[in-house]
């Protein structure tokens, strides 16, 4: 029992920094438990090795940003995948030489087929790889390659919560979650958003009324309601539309959205982080069945001319 308490305590505080003691060796189950607590801590677990050049190049970003966001409960753990012959002396020496004054453990595993899927099903075992988790809001991101300082900081801000204007959460008001979003995409904070219908059909609209106007930075969205459908238009920097305006013939061209069974209006979210678009589709998407865009996770400008 006493040994069990010591082990749990060790997981809670991770490990003493490398300057204070030798690096402990963990099994993959220990690593997973280290970021599984149901709290609002943002856990950043980076897999690296002393012989991995991209790893060494990105670690300074991790150290700097972990310190910057320390007050916002960001915790960094460096998990070494060095060869057994390197443990512990070479890893300790390397970490001290490079001032890796953070939590470090050595992964005492040799079977990648066992430990990789426990972190992420897509992980091939290549390094550097990083997982960022916030269990309080469901945020989870895994990346199997080097992360730039800009991408890492943006990911930390997403995990922490960031600006509410960028936040789409499930469920939103009276939205229905069709499938649990295991990947955390519904919690992603993004640079801009587009709306698209399930069949990507393009329509020229005659009539209809502006239901809402939203803006995310320079990106603008106009939501038109007509005959029970929502029509969405984006990148309208020059439009003068405002809420309540009637749409003239062929004034706008956009996408019409229906829900999966065709029984009513819906808007599907396509999230774009300037690297790839993530469709919140049947596997992980949010559908709305009300006739209002009232979610405060984006900035609504009901009365502001565009």
* Domains parsed from the chain with CATH numbers: 2-162 (3.40.30.10), 176-300 (no CATH)
Rounded distance between C-alpha atoms, residue 221 and residue 224, angstroms? 10
CB 258 within 8 A of CB 197: yes
CB atoms within 10 A of CB 276: 7
What pLDDT, on a 0 to 100 scale, did the predictor assign at position 75? 97
Over 80: is that where the pLDDT of 147 sits? yes
Label residue 151 by pLDDT band (50, 70, 90): confident
What pLDDT, on a 0 to 100 scale, did the predictor assign at position 183? 34
Radius of gyration of the chain (CA): 23
Over 50: is that where the pLDDT of 291 sits? no
What pLDDT, on a 0 to 100 scale, did the predictor assign at position 175? 31
The residue that leads in pLDDT, 222 or 61, is: 61
Q: What residues contact 173, with CB distance under 8 A and at least 6 apart?
A: 290, 294, 295
Q: Which CA distances in Å does 114 have to 53, 110, 118, 182, 244?
A: 25, 9, 7, 20, 58
Q: Is the pTM of this model over 0.85?
A: no
Label residue 135 by pLDDT band (50, 70, 90): confident
Label residue 136 by pLDDT band (50, 70, 90): confident
| End-to-end Cα, the chain, rounded Å | 66
Widest distance between CA atoms in the chain: 77
The chain-wide mean pLDDT, for the chain, equals 65
Label residue 29 by pLDDT band (50, 70, 90): very high
CB 252 within 8 A of CB 233: yes
The residue that leads in pLDDT, 292 or 65, is: 65
What pLDDT, on a 0 to 100 scale, did the predictor assign at position 252? 46
Over 90: is that where the pLDDT of 81 sits? yes
What pLDDT, on a 0 to 100 scale, did the predictor assign at position 225? 62
Convert the pLDDT of each residue in 200-237 to its tens digit: 333 334 556 665 555 444 445 555 566 555 555 554 44
Rounded distance between C-alpha atoms, residue 148 and residue 215, angstroms? 27
What pLDDT, on a 0 to 100 scale, did the predictor assign at position 91? 97
Overall average pLDDT of the 38-46 stretch: 94
Rounded distance between C-alpha atoms, residue 280 and residue 198, angstroms? 10
Over 90: is that where the pLDDT of 199 sits? no
CB atoms within 10 A of CB 193: 19
Over 60: is that where the pLDDT of 184 sits? no
Q: Of 224, 217, 280, 281, whose CA–CA distance to 255 is shortest? A: 224
Catalogue the long-range contacts made by 115-121 (C-beta closer than 8 Å, 24 or more residues apart). 115/28, 118/28, 118/29, 118/32, 119/28, 119/31, 119/32, 119/45, 119/47, 120/144
CB atoms within 10 A of CB 46: 27
The residue that leads in pLDDT, 7 or 191, is: 7
């Amino acid at each position: 029992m006493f040994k069990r308490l010591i082990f749990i305590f060790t997981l809670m505080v991770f490990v003493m920094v490398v300057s204070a003691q030798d690096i402990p060796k963990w099994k993959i189950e220990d690593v997973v438990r280290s970021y599984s607590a149901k709290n609002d801590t943002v856990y950043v677990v980076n897999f690296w090795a002393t012989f991995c050049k991209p790893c060494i190049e990105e670690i300074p970003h991790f150290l700097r940003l972990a310190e910057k966001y320390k007050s916002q409960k960001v915790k960094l753990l460096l998990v070494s995948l060095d060869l057994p012959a390197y443990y512990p002396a070479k890893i300790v020496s390397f970490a001290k030489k490079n001032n890796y004054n953070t939590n470090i453990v050595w992964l005492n595993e040799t079977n990648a087929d066992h430990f990789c899927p426990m972190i992420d099903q897509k992980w091939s075992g290549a390094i550097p790889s990083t997982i960022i988790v916030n269990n309080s809001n469901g945020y989870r991101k895994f990346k199997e390659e080097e992360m730039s300082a800009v991408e890492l900081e943006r990911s930390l801000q997403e995990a922490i919560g960031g600006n509410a204007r960028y936040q789409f959460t499930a469920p939103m008001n009276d939205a229905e979650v069709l499938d649990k979003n295991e990947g955390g995409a519904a919690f992603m904070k993004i640079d801009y958003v587009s709306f698209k219908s399930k069949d990507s059909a393009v329509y020229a609209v005659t009539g209809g009324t502006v239901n809402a106007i939203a803006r995310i930075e320079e990106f603008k969205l106009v939501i038109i309601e007509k005959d029970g459908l929502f029509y969405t238009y984006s990148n309208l920097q020059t439009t003068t539309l405002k809420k309540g305006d009637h749409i003239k013939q062929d004034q706008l061209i956009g996408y019409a959205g229906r829900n999966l069974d065709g029984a009513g209006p819906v808007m599907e979210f396509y999230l774009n982080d300037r690297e790839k678009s993530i469709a919140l589709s049947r596997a992980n998407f949010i559908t709305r069945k009300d006739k209002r865009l009232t979610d405060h996770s984006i900035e609504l400008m009901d009365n502001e001319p565009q």
